[in-house]
Amino acid sequence: MTTCPLALAAECYCANHKNSFAPNSASKTAVLLLAHGSPENPSQIPEFMNYITGGRTIPASVIEEVQHRYSLIGFSPLACWTLLQAHQLSQAINLPVFVGTRNWKPFIKDAVKAIVDGKYENVIAICLAPQNSRTSVGLYRSAVLAAAPPPFKMDFVDFVEEWHDEPLLIKAFAERFIAGWQKANLENGARVPVIFTAHSVPERTIADGDPYQRQAKETAALVAKTVGLSDQVGLSDDDWTFAFQSQGMSGGAWIGPTVEDTIKNLKAKGHRGVFIQPVGFVCDHVEILYDIDIAFTGFAKTEGIKLWRAESLNGSPILTAALAELVSKRVRLANLAKLADKAKPPIAVSR
């Protein structure tokens, strides 16, 4: 990499930074942002896939297909955007913000080590997948637990389990939606139907009681409601539907409906355009840049459909405000708990 994909030049965040310290912060509280992780180029895919599967054997055809996808997008900016989001959050809340990813650099274990070495007493951990699932939050929690040495372990980490309905997150998605959908409608000459999407998960995950599917649809409904109340566009329930994208290439059945089937259904109803609004991702990466921009766009074209999508949140100031609000809520709750402990009467000891 010689050119920053985010056009940040010397301030580029692609060099595997592990933290972003707010100036003059003497707090013993730190924030840990957790993400999936993504390699930079196709040559790193075999190692990356090994982390994802925990060392299980992967068919060569799967590795080759993933390498092909990365070769088409050229570079995955997930780490860049995540580190930029951490920097913006740190400046907003005046606290140190660390980044740890499960499957690539900067690894969760390295972020946890930096936190322990810094002697932080409290850590607020936020998974950058807003909807709760054992395939995301659950795995990140396990990774943090495995990396934290005694006596730290989990008693000093406050996990934000879910934030799929955080009002500022909904506002951030709605802002991107309105800008993109208005443009699509203008170019199409008519209202374009909307497909909200989130990453698919195995059917067995949902069968075991995982809340992910319900929460993903709740996020979409809240964004649709917010946009519907806007004077600018006025989205109705008839204007949108929901699909799960990026189903796995192995490991049994994954939840749907797929984006491809949804596009076909909209075509059958006479539509000639479609607008995709992802609500399970907070930045650009392969599921956006390949799955939507290349695969779904190409599929739609073969069906005679033009596809538009909303811009990802990436460096959205409203996303930063949403993350800051999550941290502020946890800090307020912790302070209230400390006050409650101080207010408890001493325990009488019988003699």
- Whether pLDDT at 65 is above 60: yes
pLDDT for the residue numbered 338: 65
For residue 351, the model assigns a pLDDT of: 41
> Do the first three CATH levels of 9-40+75-163 and 167-309 match, i.e. the same topology?
yes
Residue 236 or 215, more confident:
215
| Mean pLDDT, range 153-172, rounded to an integer | 89
Bridge partner list, 157: 123
Fold designation for 167-309: Rossmann fold (3.40.50)
Enter the pTM of the model. 0.91
CATH code at 9-40+75-163: 3.40.50.1400
Q: Which of 74-78, 215-219, 248-252 has the lowest mean pLDDT?
A: 248-252
Domain locations in the chain as residue ranges: 9-40+75-163, 167-309
* The most confident of 54-68, 70-84, 152-166, 257-271, by mean pLDDT: 257-271
- Angstrom distance (rounded) from CA 43 to CA 29: 38
Residue linked to tokens 């008839």: 238
